[in-house]
Amino acid sequence: MKGNAPERLDVLIDELKGIFSNIKAHEIMNTSVVVIRPDRTLYQAKELMRLRKISGVPVCDEKGALVGIVSIEDIIKALENDYINDRIEKWMTKNVVWIDENEELIDIVEKFSRYGFGRFPVLNPETKKVIGIITKADILSTILKKLKNLYVRDQRMTNVLEKSDLHSISLITGEKLDKSGADFYFEINYSDINMAGIGAAKLREFLLSRGIDEETVRKVAIATYEAETNVVIHSESTGRIYCFVKDDFIKVRVEDNGKGIENLELAMQEGYSTAPDYVRELGFGAGMGLVNMKRCSDKMVVVSEVGKGVIVEMLFNIKLGGEKS
Amino acid sequence: MKLSEIAKVLNAKVLTCEEKVEDIDIEVVGASDMMSDVLLIAKPGMLLVTGLNSPQVIRTANIVGIPAVVIVRKKTVPPETIDTAKNLGIVLLHSPIPMYVACGRLYEKKLKDVEGIIK
């Protein structure tokens, strides 16, 4: 694959664009925005900026509508020319460039480079009220958050995903998966939440009997338990647990044919859950399942389509030189 | 601290695996009603204090290597839960006192939390 590196980079950039371009201003902005009235003095604006450690502040009338903006630069000029005690309205920038809350990331970035300002107020286009503010730092942190949830797929992964029958291919290695060769198989054929965990418990027993070290077994069991619980709570269908034991790793695959995950990115977020109340009363549905699975495993891939179920594949490295008794 | 002593401190009845209470020594205690949390924070060998009494609690304990569970506050423990504990070899204790009080008493006995924090 060495020859086509730039080509792959293009593909990657295109994919990233697709993921980031539809981010809207209201997802990026900082909503705890400080504003000041035009009848206050520049001295007061300076104090506000100093206390809140900000470099600019939108000026709003009594109805909250944007009328101007004051930046550190205005303050410096006021200090140099000795009008710091003048009212803000006299010196503020009145033609403020602002961002519509529905504006997309690409246009916002473009605004930053075109005007060279440090911040843009975000307005509701109808009321003209300031609902937030965007600095470059806000953009950076939004992108980082998105990246955290993104699995950048390599070529191998693309090959896997382009093949239609995901059910016969390993999501992690791309190899053909002979499920009949699984070392452990369990059918999740119940929908009673009170039974969830039986499969994981059996897998735990099995792995211990195979002499796998306790720490690894524990990780596998926890992650499998979470996956099994997800099938029972969310899939509204049955599922299957497969486990393959190799010399240096354990692979667990949990599949169902249920309703699928609507928004994988949300589902990966800590604390996000769509679990019904009765499930929460049993102590589940904290929105930690996928997070915990990721934490326990060394590699995890989740593939899901609405109406077509979920496949989770997890890889656990077996510690070399671990006690195999 | 021996499980038998913990049972005394909490006025708890031992429902399963009574033969183990002299042998199990507890150093760490975690309390939660969220099984998802237990999966996240549990340390092997820890005692779990919980207000839930479903068999799920026992299965969660088994998965993370918790040898003993105290069910607090609830008046009764369903037979399915007791059976599950018996089958998995987990010591099940039942105490009618509220979770806050149970934790307070164990804290007083200098038992550590999952982070190993205690003054």
Contact: A283, B33; criterion CB under 8 Å: yes
Question: Which DSSP letter does residue B19 get?
Answer: G
Contact: A222, B36; criterion CB under 8 Å: no
Contact: B88, A194; criterion CB under 8 Å: no
pLDDT score of B115? 79
| Domain that residue B103 falls in | 3-113
Residue B28 predicted with pLDDT over 90: yes
B103 vs A63: which has the higher pLDDT: B103
Alpha carbon distance A189, A241 (integer Å): 11
pLDDT score of A165? 63
Q: Please say whether the beta carbons of A220 and A315 come within 8 A.
A: no
Contact: A289, B52; criterion CB under 8 Å: no
Mutate to test the interface with A, among B33, B34, B36, B71 (most CBs of A within 10 A): B36
Alpha carbon distance A38, A64 (integer Å): 11
Neighbours of A299 (CB within 10 A): 15
- Structure tokens, A288: 């930690």
pLDDT score of A15? 64
**Domain-located, residue B119:** no
Question: Which DSSP letter does residue A40 get?
Answer: S
**Among A226, A282, A285, whose Cβ lies nearest the Cβ of B56?**
A282
- CB proximity A325 to B under 8 Å: no
**Domain-located, residue B25:** yes
- Structure tokens, B88: 């998995």
Residue B111's SS3 state is coil
Looking at the structure of chain B, the number of domains it has is 1
Instruction: Report ipTM for this prediction.
Output: 0.79
**Domain-located, residue B118:** no
Q: Are strands B47-50 and A299-305 parallel, antiparallel or unpaired?
A: unpaired
Question: Looking at the DSSP assignment, which residues form a beta bridge with residue A36?
Answer: A59
Mutate to test the interface with B, among A190, A203, A214, A218 (most CBs of B within 10 A): A218
DSSP A162-193: HSS-GGGB-TTT--B--GGG-SEEEEE----G
- CB proximity A221 to B under 8 Å: yes
**Burial class (CB within 10 angstroms; exposed 0-12, middle 13-18, buried 19+) of A117:** middle
Residue B11 predicted with pLDDT over 80: yes
CA distance A306 to chain B (A): 25
Residue B31's SS3 state is strand
Q: Please say whether the beta carbons of A174 and A156 come within 8 A.
A: yes
Length of chain B: 119
pLDDT score of A3? 45
pLDDT score of A306? 79
pLDDT score of A275? 83
Contact: B62, A214; criterion CB under 8 Å: no
pLDDT score of A325? 37
CATH code of the domain containing B64:
3.40.1390.20
Alpha carbon distance A311, A218 (integer Å): 21
**Domain-located, residue B18:** yes
The average pLDDT across B26-33 equals 94
CA distance B19 to chain A (A): 22
Q: What is the mean pLDDT of chain B?
A: 92
**Burial class (CB within 10 angstroms; exposed 0-12, middle 13-18, buried 19+) of B39:** buried
This prediction has a pTM of 0.60
**Burial class (CB within 10 angstroms; exposed 0-12, middle 13-18, buried 19+) of A27:** middle
Residue A85's SS3 state is coil
Contact: B59, A196; criterion CB under 8 Å: yes
> Which residue, among B23, B22, B42, has the nearest Cα to B32 in the 3D structure?
B42
Q: Which residues of chain A have pLDDT under 50?
A: 1-3, 152-156, 322-325
- The angle that helices A72-80 and A42-52 make with each other, rounded to 10 degrees, is 130
pLDDT tens-digit readout, A29-65: 998 888 999 999 999 999 999 998 888 999 999 888 9
Alpha carbon distance A120, A303 (integer Å): 38
**Domain-located, residue B98:** yes
Q: Which residues of B touch A286 (CB under 8 A)?
A: 34, 36-37
pLDDT score of A159? 53
Question: Looking at the DSSP assignment, which residues form a beta bridge with residue A239?
Answer: A188, A256
**Among A226, A283, A292, whose Cβ lies nearest the Cβ of B56?**
A283
**Domain-located, residue B46:** yes
